[in-house]
């Protein structure tokens, strides 16, 4: 029978009762269905739901498990497209909630001062319109911090911040705390016995921080420089003969304040070696051991020098290249004897065929035509290879200025072992120049310049230029064209057109500048040049110019006895009155030039010698013969110091007779003579060296009311002296200058300091006739000089001599030709000097070949607003009349 199970509390069974438990079958439980019936994506804005589903493995019909859900979350986060993701299962209806990462609107930098934005942005991989991800931000932060570490700022930190915008956009701001530069506080060296710490520190690129190294970056910590210094130490010891030297460890530790570093090197010096037997074994027929061994620079018993060994290998390879063996294999074989501490070396030159140039390839010249580069090669296809000519070709191509500075001609194996291909891979540089500049010069005050220049016109190597300049004392316009290879022949031709307006000036006793004469020159020049050898060339030129020299009539002119307005020697000086007028110069000139410098822009070695001769007299009104010679030589000394010695000299010989020495007229005109001063010889003022006329005091003149008055010789009435250089026929000039290398930081700023010595002189000119005081006579009458300087006797205009009285200061007199002139009385009848007539002195100074010497320091700076040159020079040797100047500078103009 069936029973019913009731829910309740049953009476307990007694011990005697036996209760039978009926067998109950549990009800069947329906199995749970965990299959995915639907997948819904919520929260996506830019991405389609199907795109979101494609990033994970969940699919409709699969069984939903926690493992599958975790893997889906991991897959979605790995895309870095989502800020947050959640998954829930509602009975087979899977809902995926996503929050997309924002889009980057802008990337900003704040706090960076030492490193500009254009240096930081290339390190940032994030970019506008990209999806923001935290991992990319962290990577960018690490790269920015690493950039600051490379600049020596190890305390720098970067804090990224996100500024939320509408439409799920953000601005990323990197807030930078640059911190101080991490300096090298101390360099310790342990284990050195042969050389002092100071000596070894001097060999390193890294320096200890000191107050005087404010221009250098060598005292900042740089891990790459630390590794480089280890190589420098090893190179130094190997050069000194310590072949077993090694750096055991190099450790850089931060100071407790986390600002600076202390570097410690542990070294093992070893023993010093000497050269043992040194010889050459050659398998090349032209290179015999008997010939080459005596030429080796090292000898048995000399201290071992690894650098000398490297130089010998290079020298042997270059020597082989001179004979056409381009791929000569020179290998030194070392035999180290640790018992007697000797290093024997055999330089083995392996057999190799003589090589010929198979082909010359030129790549990368997108503007310059091929022949412009090819004609600079000193080798032609089919020629025997010559390593020297290859280097010379590379230097000539670089001297064009059309391509990159670090240009090398690659040597590649040709189609056969005895064939070589020379390949010039060039990179075009901008050759057009448009310059608009304004500046200030201590010589010319305010300067404006505008120029257009194309050094590679039409890609054919031609030069076309035009320039206009304006300053307080000169204005000029010039046009020029140069064809370096006329009709594809090595003949350079050119033409120049010019118009120059020069206002010459002198100085008063108060230092103020006054215009003396104005020279307007219009003309042209035609020139041609041909090479004679690789380093020697000759040029020929013809020039025609028209000059018009004038004086300010209001200042320097007065009416003569005939009532004609003319140059007044008392006001201007006879030398200026002699200079005025119009003249034509037709000249033919030639130059012989030797130049083997490694660079025409900034040479570091080589020399140049130029001799020029000009003849004026092919027609025209000016006739002279002028010769000039100048030379310079450059050396690289003491590492990166550049020492330059230069000298020049010239002489101009007149080919016409313009007067006599008694008249004080030189046969060479004032405008054709040589002048010397700033900037040629530093320590002296512009035209401050050489012959000059110094005029002081006042000169007598008649005012508008007919009264005799004192007129100061300085037209602005603020001084009592004028100083006018008149130049000379001959000059010489010498310079010695040492350019001092600076650290990389200063080089990046374009700073190039130097110390110098200048010496020179200009001399040999006819002494101008000076206006002197009247000469007294005991008879009561006086003989004086008239306005032309001739001695005359005073009379009353009828030929009868009269006594001079103080009440009649202005008289008529007759000169030696009988002409009536106006003179001024110098003494009265009693022989007492007239104060008006004697208050004027005109003196001649400086016509001496004795050297003027100056020493000083200077700095060139390629500043952002133009080239800048500053010089401080002290004149040690000078002559009476020379004008010195301690400080000079130029800004915004070439120097």
Query: In this model, does residue 330 exceed pLDDT 80?
Result: yes
- Would you state the pLDDT for residue 771? 58
pLDDT tens-digit series, residues 629-640: 999 999 988 878
pLDDT level of residue 662 (50, 70, 90 thresholds): low
- Would you state the pLDDT for residue 715? 43
**Tokens found for residue 300:** 């048995």
Average pLDDT value for residue range 330-334: 90
- Would you state the pLDDT for residue 493? 94
- Would you state the pLDDT for residue 810? 38
Contacts of 881 (CB under 8 A, 6+ apart): 692, 694, 723, 843, 845, 846
pLDDT tens-digit series, residues 834-860: 444 445 677 888 899 999 999 999 888
pLDDT tens-digit series, residues 111-152: 888 888 888 998 898 889 888 888 889 999 999 998 888 787
Q: 812 vs 79, which has greater pLDDT?
A: 79
- Would you state the pLDDT for residue 414? 85
Q: 212 vs 650, which has greater pLDDT?
A: 650
Query: In this model, does residue 178 exceed pLDDT 90?
Result: no
Query: In this model, does residue 868 exceed pLDDT 80?
Result: no
- Predicted structure pTM score: 0.59
Query: In this model, does residue 818 exceed pLDDT 50?
Result: no
Q: Are 123 and 144 in contact (CB under 8 A)?
A: yes
Contacts of 300 (CB under 8 A, 6+ apart): 275, 276, 277, 278
Average pLDDT value for residue range 878-883: 89
pLDDT tens-digit series, residues 505-539: 544 444 445 556 788 899 999 999 999 988 899 99
Q: Are 38 and 60 in contact (CB under 8 A)?
A: yes
- Would you state the pLDDT for residue 53? 87
pLDDT tens-digit series, residues 179-233: 888 888 899 999 999 899 989 998 888 888 887 776 677 788 888 888 899 999 9
Q: 831 vs 322, which has greater pLDDT?
A: 322
- Would you state the pLDDT for residue 866? 53
Query: In this model, does residue 256 exceed pLDDT 90?
Result: no
pLDDT tens-digit series, residues 34-80: 788 888 888 888 888 888 888 888 888 888 888 888 888 888 888 88
pLDDT level of residue 26 (50, 70, 90 thresholds): low
- Would you state the pLDDT for residue 140? 92
Q: 117-126, 252-261, 672-681: lowest mean pLDDT where?
A: 252-261
- Measuring CA to CA, which residue among 692, 756, 759, 757 is closest to residue 732? 759
Q: Are 769 and 786 in contact (CB under 8 A)?
A: no
* Alpha-carbon distance values, 894 to 445, 446, 679, 871 (Å): 14, 14, 12, 15
- Would you state the pLDDT for residue 640? 80
User: Which DSSP string do the residues of 615-637 spell out, in sequence order?
Assistant: EEEEEES--EEEEEEEEEEEEEE
Q: 70 vs 288, which has greater pLDDT?
A: 70
pLDDT level of residue 805 (50, 70, 90 thresholds): very low
Report the distance separating Cα 339 and Cα 883, nearest Å.
71
- Would you state the pLDDT for residue 707? 52
Report the distance separating Cα 327 and Cα 789, nearest Å.
82
Q: 12-21, 447-456, 545-554: lowest mean pLDDT where?
A: 12-21
- Would you state the pLDDT for residue 344? 92
* Mean pLDDT, the chain, whole residue set: 79
């Amino acid at each position: 029978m069936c029973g019913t199970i009731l829910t309740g509390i049953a009476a307990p069974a007694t011990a005697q009762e036996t209760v039978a438990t009926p067998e109950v079958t549990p009800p069947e439980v329906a199995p749970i269905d965990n299959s995915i019936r639907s997948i819904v994506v919520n929260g996506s804005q830019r991405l389609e739901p199907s795109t979101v589903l494609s990033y994970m493995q969940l699919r409709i019909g699969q069984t939903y498990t926690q493992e599958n859900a975790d893997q889906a979350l991991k897959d979605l986060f790995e895309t870095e497209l989502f800020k947050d993701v959640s998954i829930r299962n509602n009975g087979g209806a899977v809902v995926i909630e996503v929050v997309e990462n924002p889009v980057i609107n802008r990337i900003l930098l704040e706090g960076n001062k030492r490193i500009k934005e254009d240096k930081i942005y290339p390190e940032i991989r994030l970019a506008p319109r990209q999806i923001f991800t935290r991992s990319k931000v962290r990577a960018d932060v690490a790269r920015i911090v690493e950039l600051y570490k490379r600049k020596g700022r190890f305390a720098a930190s970067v804090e990224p911040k996100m500024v939320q915008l509408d439409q799920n956009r953000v601005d990323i701001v990197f807030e930078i705390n640059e911190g101080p530069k991490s300096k090298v506080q101390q360099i310790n060296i342990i284990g050195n016995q042969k050389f002092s710490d100071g000596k070894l520190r001097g060999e390193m690129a890294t320096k200890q921080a000191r107050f005087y190294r404010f221009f250098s970056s060598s005292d900042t910590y740089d891990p790459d420089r630390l590794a480089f210094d280890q190589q420098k130490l090893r190179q130094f010891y190997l050069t000194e003969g310590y072949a077993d030297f090694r750096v055991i460890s190099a450790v850089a530790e931060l100071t407790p304040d986390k600002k600076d570093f202390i570097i410690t090197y542990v070294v093992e010096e070893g023993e010093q070696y000497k050269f043992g037997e040194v010889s050459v074994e050659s398998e090349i027929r032209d290179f015999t051991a008997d010939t080459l061994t005596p030429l080796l620079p090292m000898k048995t018993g000399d201290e071992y020098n690894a650098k000398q060994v490297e130089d010998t290998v290079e020298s042997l390879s270059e020597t082989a290249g001179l004979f056409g063996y381009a791929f000569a294999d020179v290998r030194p074989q070392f035999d180290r004897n640790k018992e007697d501490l000797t290093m024997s070396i055999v330089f083995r030159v392996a057999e190799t065929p003589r090589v010929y140039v198979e082909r010359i390839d030129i790549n990368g010249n997108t503007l310059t035509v091929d022949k412009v580069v090819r004609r600079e090669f000193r080798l032609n296809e089919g020629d025997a290879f010559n390593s020297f000519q290859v280097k010379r070709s590379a230097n000539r191509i670089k001297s064009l200025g059309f391509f990159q500075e670090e240009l090398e001609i690659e040597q590649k194996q040709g189609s056969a072992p005895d064939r070589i291909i020379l390949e010039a891979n060039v990179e075009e540089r901008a050759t057009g120049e448009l310059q608009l500049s304004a500046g200030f010069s201590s010589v010319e005050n305010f300067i404006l310049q505008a120029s257009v220049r194309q050094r590679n016109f039409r890609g054919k190597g031609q030069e076309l230029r035009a320039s206009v300049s304006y300053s307080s004392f000169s204005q000029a316009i010039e046009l020029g064209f140069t064809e370096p290879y006329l009709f594809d022949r090595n003949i350079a031709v050119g033409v120049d057109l010019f118009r120059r307006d020069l206002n010459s000036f002198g100085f008063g006793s108060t230092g103020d500048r006054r215009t003396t004469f104005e020279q307007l020159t219009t003309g042209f020049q035609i020139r041609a040049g041909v090479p004679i050898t690789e380093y020697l060339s000759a040029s020929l030129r013809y020039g025609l110019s028209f000059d018009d020299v004038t004086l300010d009539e209001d200042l320097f002119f007065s009416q003569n006895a005939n009532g004609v307005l003319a140059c007044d020697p008392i006001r201007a000086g006879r030398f200026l009155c002699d200079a005025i007028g119009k003249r034509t110069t037709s000249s033919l000139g030639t130059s012989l030039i030797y130049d083997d410098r490694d660079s025409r822009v900034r040479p570091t070695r080589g020399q140049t010698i130029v001799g020029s001769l000009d003849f004026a007299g092919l027609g025209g009104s000016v006739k002279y013969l002028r010769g000039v010679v100048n030379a310079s030589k450059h050396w690289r000394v003491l590492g990166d110091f550049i020492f330059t010695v230069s000298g020049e000299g010239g002489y101009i010989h007149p080919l016409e007779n313009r007067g006599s020495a008694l008249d004080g007229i030189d046969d060479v005109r004032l405008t054709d003579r040589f002048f010397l001063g700033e900037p040629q010889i530093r320590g002296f003022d512009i035209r401050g060296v050489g012959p000059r006329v110094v005029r002081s005091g006042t000169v007598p003149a008649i005012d508008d009311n007919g009264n005799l008055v004192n007129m100061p010789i300085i037209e602005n009435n603020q001084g009592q002296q004028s100083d006018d250089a008149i130049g000379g026929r001959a000059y010489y000039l010498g310079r010695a200058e040492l350019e001092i290398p600076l650290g990389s930081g200063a080089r990046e700023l374009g700073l190039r300091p130097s110390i110098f010595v200048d010496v020179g002189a200009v001399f040999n000119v006819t002494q101008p006739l000076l206006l002197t005081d009247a000469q007294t006579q005991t008879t009561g009458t006086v003989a004086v000089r008239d306005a032309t300087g001739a001695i005359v006797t005073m009379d009353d205009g009828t030929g009868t001599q009269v006594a001079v009285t103080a009440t009649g200061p202005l008289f008529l007199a007759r000169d030696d030709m009988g002409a009536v002139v106006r003179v001024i009385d110098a003494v009265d009848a009693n022989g007492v000097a007239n104060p008006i007539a004697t208050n004027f002195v005109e003196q001649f100074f400086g016509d001496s070949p004795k050297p003027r010497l100056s020493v000083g320091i200077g700095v060139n700076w390629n500043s952002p607003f133009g080239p800048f040159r500053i010089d401080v020079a002290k004149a040690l040797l000078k002559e009476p009349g020379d004008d010195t100047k301690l400080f000079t500078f130029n800004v915004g103009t070439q120097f």
